[in-house]
Structure 1
Amino acid sequence: MLQRIQTVYLALAFIVSGILPIFISLWTTTAKVDVMAMHNLAYISLFGISALLTLVSIFSYRNRQNQFVINRLNMILNFILIGLLVYHSLTLSGEAQVSEKGIGMLLPIFSIVFLVLANKAIKKDEDLVKSVDRIR
């Protein structure tokens, strides 16, 4: 059912990983140029795969176990994205390239939070179904 709370959390995760990287900058260079995720193929592909996995998870609402596993894979992908962003921000030499980090570097963290909340709701639904099956 698409009206469950985990669908809301997954929709928020889709917005964070699929739509916001288009409009929010990852960092600003010393020349005051905003660097978006669209400027780097690795970032846009990881954000895109994360958004695609979130959509697949939203529409696999009939199979809660599958939805749970897809969300776990999406969390791993977001941790890889965080690692890549941290590596990129730490390996650049001081003020040579990156002058100011943007809110876009926190987008994978927000996505992970929404995915964890969705997994908690999926687990709660699964426990409810198991308890009803025991009564029968």
Structure 2
Amino acid sequence: MIQRIQSIYLFLVVVLSGGISTILPYGLDQNGEALLSQNNFLVLGMFTGSAVLALVSVFLFKNRQLQFVLGRINILLNFILLGVFVYWSLTLSGETMVSEKGIGMLIPIISIVLLVMANKAIKKDENLVKSVDRLR
């Protein structure tokens, strides 16, 4: 059931967290060099974890309950990643690590929106299956 809309949302999360996060910088240092996720193991691990969870969720279409739970865990992971970015941008002094914000800081927000839309579609499918079972 790869053609379901939640599979498309989850695949977009895989592309964002797995691919685009390595290309787009999440900030610029004091020398003007781009800070990429490959240079920071914490950020790379969280982006990779989010991509792996979304990819696993795509192929769990027969187990909608587990797919829904993995989506919520992935949302939580992206909130933690967003919190790390906000912490770095607000509490560190201006020129120690991140002096300018990059477009890569928006990736967790976009991923959260896509995951919420995927979870709504999964819940809608689950309710549809339950209603059909009631009619039998």
TM-score strictly above 0.5 = yes
Identical aligned pairs, as a percentage? Answer: 55
Deviation at 1:96, TM superposition (A): 4.4
Correspondence 1:71 to 2:71:
yes
Query: 1:52 corresponds to which residue?
Result: 52
Q: Distance in 1 between matches of 2:119 and 2:131?
A: 18
Query: 1:35 corresponds to which residue?
Result: 35
Give the stretch that moved more between structures: 115-124 or 88-97.
88-97
Q: Distance in 2 between matches of 1:106 and 1:61?
A: 28
Deviations 1:76-127 (A, max 9, x none): 1111111111111112212444332011011011000000000010011111
- Tell me which protein shows more strand as a share of its residues: 1
Letter of the 1:120 partner, please give it.
K
Deviation at 1:30, TM superposition (A): 2.5
TM-score after normalising by structure 2:
0.96
Unaligned ranges ≥5, structure 1: none
Give the stretch that moved more between structures: 111-120 or 91-100.
91-100
Q: Distance in 2 between matches of 1:118 and 1:103?
A: 23
Question: CA RMSD of the aligned region, Å?
Answer: 1.0
Deviations 1:55-88 (A, max 9, x none): 1100111000000000000001111111111111
Pairs aligned (count): 136
Letter of the 2:53 partner, please give it.
L
